[in-house]
Amino acid sequence: MARISSQTYLNLLESGKHSDLTIDCQGVQFKVHRVLVCPQSPMIDAAMSRIKFPEEDPDILARVILFMYTNDYDDKSLPKFYSHLYLDDESLGLRKCLNVNALVYKTAEMLGLSDLQTVASARFMRDAQVAFDMDGFEQPAELLYENTRMDDRDLRFKVTQLCIENHDLLEIRPKTLAVLQHHEPNVWHVTVELMRRWASDLSPGNTLTKGFRRRLEKAVKDCNDKIAEKFRLCEHHGWQKTSKLKLENDGSLTFTCPDC
């Protein structure tokens, strides 16, 4: 039996022929096929003949749907039949792709599309490795932090770790620092302090040793675990913005809530 090409699925999506499910998004209607999209997404599978996403961006949802049909999407452009959804702002430069991939990651998580999450995360990090110390990175970083869970162990974790590893380069980017200190205050302050204490572990002329990187990853994970644990136990509202993680001399972490 011949394998059906991705172009065949793309043609089916473009024509809307035999579609039996409508996805509404801010006035845009996507005609899709349950046999293709429902097995991939529990949320869509629970819908009848129509499902609405009033808060999603149509150009982002278009990319998500394209991935469900072809196992790929373009973070720079859309096919001609979706060209009316494309918002081209050349002034954004690399930030355009970062923004797109951050929102694709968010929508993929919402719909339960783990493969798409993996792809969007990898593409965001590909560009973040280049752009993290540039003016304007604070905008996609803010978008990412606002649209991911505090305990996200994939993209949010990786971006935080990247910025912590290069905290010295970010000292001249106060806007990016402000985003990190707002969304990850405890993780940022504690792990940066750990890096300074562990500076002797750095090899001359190199960046991070393997041992240092493992310790850094563990420090970030420990901070997140402490925060998640306190979130379950602390009954006081607004604790995230007032609580503190303290780094003890022995390297342990102590969580304190000012109201407990």
> Domain extents for the chain?
1-88, 113-234
pLDDT, mean of residues 122-135? 95
CA angle 137, 186, 156 (to 5 degrees): 45
DSSP letter string over 82-137?
GGGG----GGGTHHHHHHHHHHHHHHHHHHT-HHHHHHHHHHHHHHHHHHTTSTTT
139-150, pLDDT tens digit by residue?
Answer: 999 999 999 998
* Alpha carbons 113 and 154: distance in angstroms, whole number: 14
pLDDT of res. 207 = 52
Structure tokens at 170: 């970010």
pTM summary value: 0.77
Task: Quickly name the fold that domain 1-88 has.
Answer: Potassium Channel Kv1.1; Chain A (3.30.710)
* Alpha carbons 102 and 208: distance in angstroms, whole number: 27
Give the chain's end-to-end CA distance (angstroms, integer).
Answer: 66
Band (231; pLDDT cuts 50, 70, 90): low
Phi, psi of 245 (to 5 degrees): -105, 130
pLDDT, mean of residues 218-238? 58
Using DSSP's 3-state secondary structure scheme, residue 152 falls into: coil
Structure tokens at 80: 């001609």
Neighbours of 211 (CB within 10 A): 10
CA angle 168, 172, 178 (to 5 degrees): 90
Q: Which DSSP symbol is given to 55?
A: T
Task: Choose between 257 and 152: higher pLDDT.
Answer: 152
pLDDT, mean of residues 128-148? 95
Residues shown for the chain:
260
pLDDT of res. 239 = 40
Structure tokens at 165: 């590893």
Cite the DSSP H helix spans in 132-165: 138-146, 155-165
Query: Is 92 a residue whose pLDDT tops 70?
Result: no
Helices then strands, counting H and E runs in the chain, come out as 12, 5
